[in-house]
Amino acid sequence: MSTAVTLINVFTATSGKQQDLARVLAEGTRNFFSKQPGSLASSVVVGGDGSKVVNISQWRSAEDIAAFRSDPRFADYMKTILELGTGESVMGHTSYSHTAGVEN
């Protein structure tokens, strides 16, 4: 099992706002989250249903996630996100993965 912490945020965009939500998530990741201590990797996935957008990130620790969430910029960022849709978070450790046929 990985010691890194995976944070999965699943958002449902307000009607017609999926691409706007995906853009805001990508910009937030590029300009804010990726520069935080403990940030290891992040992806934004746009669902084919026209409403879902998923942000998957890996962090060194749960404490690193708590630290970025306590940054005052996070509240402003989330206000923008919630204007575009709703979401829920799941945090945990990867118990199995594979990359290019290599199991981890």
97 within domain boundaries: no
Rounded Cα distance, 99 and 104, in Å = 8
H or E element in which residue 15 lies: none
pLDDT of residue 103: 65
Mean pLDDT, the chain, whole residue set: 93
Contact 9, 22 (CB under 8 A): no
H or E element in which residue 82 lies: helix 72-84
pTM: 0.88
Banded model confidence at residue 102, pLDDT cuts 50, 70, 90: low
44 within domain boundaries: yes
User: 52 - beta bridge partners?
Assistant: 12
51 within domain boundaries: yes
83 within domain boundaries: yes
Rounded Cα distance, 59 and 86, in Å = 23
pLDDT digits (tens, 9 = 90+) for 56-89: 999 999 999 999 999 999 999 999 999 999 999 9
User: How many domains is the chain partitioned into structurally?
Assistant: 1
CATH at 74: 3.30.70.100
What does the angle CA 24 – CA 22 – CA 75 come to, to the nearest 5 degrees? 40
In this model, does residue 37 exceed pLDDT 90? yes
2's tokens:
């990985």
